[in-house]
Every structure is written in structure tokens, then in C-alpha cells.
Amino acid sequence: MKPRALIFRTAGINCDKESVHAFEMAGADVDLFHINYLKEKEIISNYQILCIPGGFSYGDDLGAGKILSLEFSLWFKDQLHKFIDKGGLVIGICNGFQVMVKMGILPDVDFSQKVTLTENDSARFETRWVYLKVENTSSAWLKGLANIIALPIAHGEGKFYTDKENLVRIESNNRVAFRYVDRCGSPVGYPLNPNGSLGGIAGITDASGRILGLMPHPERFVFKHQHPFWMSEDHVPFGLQMFKNAVKYFE
């Protein structure tokens, strides 16, 4: 049987259909439901994969992802605990990542916020392709990826920020999933680090590696020709590989 993926949507989410398509290409059975529908039915446990896609939930009023994070904590806290405890996979992409850190299921599943994603250093919306160094290769989402991959970003509040103690803990405990780098893997500043993230961090995982949050958009690189230089360079659609990893994890 194919693993089942559940994708949440609400007002302002705009990457839900792309996420559905990516999971279907990877071989999953996918359901896309509005969050209000899920409030009425306790069905999260029927799935193996959960996805909070990108966009601007509720217009990012009160800060990117803040309202949706409060909604998740209020309505789904117990269901999410059970889902994670039974071994499910969770991914939050861009706005979904913002929701997850503000909800407090990254870097730890304790519903206590320890990190944030705040306004880009440039104080403007940034959109471009970036290079990423893959760090936590033990994560179910990241197995088999190349050391350096390319994905697109599009956000106004993507700067990863936390206090020094948490940053040291995240980096020393193999929680960093991706860092912004150049194509050779060296640390970078703006514009290849598009937001000024501490340590160049573009994504993190929980201790198990099953929960992943990232600012870049893997659902926007599932075909080779989506890369701007697809005709002149040999690019693997790394985004699709991540979704295939999630499906393969349950096969």
C-alpha cells in the first residue's frame, strides 16, 4: 500500500497544490484538507506523512506563521503528539517552517518556542535560487542527497535566529538540515544567504530527523527544467528526491 500524506491548507497558503503534486509524483496517496475540516474530524492518525506548505497564512498578520501556529497548538496538539510518537514524518516548507518553530515542534517536540524565523536583513522580500549544503544526512527526508543541492527561496521573514545556547545545541546535536553556501560549499553572505540566518541555517530537524522544516521550496524543483540553467547544466530535481525519500521510508 502507498503511504498516505495529509496536506493542510488555510487562507493565504498558496503552495498546497504544488505540494500535492510533488507527493503524488513521489508515489504517495495524498489528501488536501482545509484546517477547518480537520477540526471537525480526528483523522491525522490515519496518515503517515504530514505537510504544512508554503504561502502567507492569514496574511502573516502578527508575524509569519504566527496565527496558524496558535491554531495548530489549540486544535491539534494532542493529535500531533500521537502522530509523531507513532513514527510519522512531518515537513514544513517556508511558511510551514515558520509555523513549526513558532508552534514549538522544532527543534524539540515540546510545544515551546526556542527559535524563530524573522525579517530578512535586507528588509525586503527575497526570491532566487540558492545553494544548500546538506548536513543531517541521517534524516529520513535527506538520505542520498548530494552534498550540495540547489533549491529556490521566496520569503520576507526567513532569517533563522535564536540565542547562543540554543544555536550551539542545535549545531552540536546534528539538528541542522541545510546551510546556505556557494556552489563549492563555502559559507556565504548576502545574497546567497538571502536573509542573514545565523550560521547560514536554512532548515533544521528534530532529534529523530523525521520532522523537517526548511525555508527553500523543494516542491518547486520536481522537474529538471524548473531550474533556470537546465539546458546548460546537468541538474537533478533535488526537491522530488526529498519527497521520494519520505515515501520510501514507509515502503
Helical spans, DSSP H, in 164-224: 164-172
pLDDT for 122? 98
- What is the rounded CA–CA span in Å between residue 51 and residue 218? 12
pLDDT for 12? 97
Whether residue 233 has pLDDT greater than 80:
no
Number of Cβ atoms within 10 Å of the Cβ of 7: 24
- With a threshold of 0.85, does the pTM exceed it? yes
- Averaged over 95-103, what is the pLDDT? 98
Assess contact for 212 and 141: CB atoms under 8 A.
Answer: yes
pLDDT for 6? 98
Q: Annotated active-site positions, please?
A: 94, 217, 219
Name which residue leads in pLDDT, 122 or 231: 122
pLDDT for 109? 95
Assess contact for 179 and 200: CB atoms under 8 A.
Answer: yes
Q: Where are the beta strands (DSSP E) in 40-105?
A: 49-52, 89-93
Number of Cβ atoms within 10 Å of the Cβ of 193: 24
1 — pLDDT class (breaks 50, 70, 90): confident
- Averaged over 126-153, what is the pLDDT? 97
Q: Each residue of 35-61: pLDDT tens digit?
A: 999 999 999 999 999 999 999 999 999
For β-strands 116-118 and 159-161, DSSP reports them as antiparallel
Place of cell 498558496: 14
Q: At a CB cut-off of 8 Å and minimum separation 6, what does 195 contact?
A: 120, 121, 122, 126, 155, 157, 158, 159, 160, 215
Whether residue 230 has pLDDT greater than 90:
no
Q: What is the mean pLDDT of the chain?
A: 96
CA distance from start to end of the chain:
8
Q: What is the CATH number of domain 4-250?
A: 3.40.50.880
Domain boundaries, the chain: 4-250
pLDDT for 82? 96
Place of cell 504544512: 52
Whether residue 236 has pLDDT greater than 90:
no
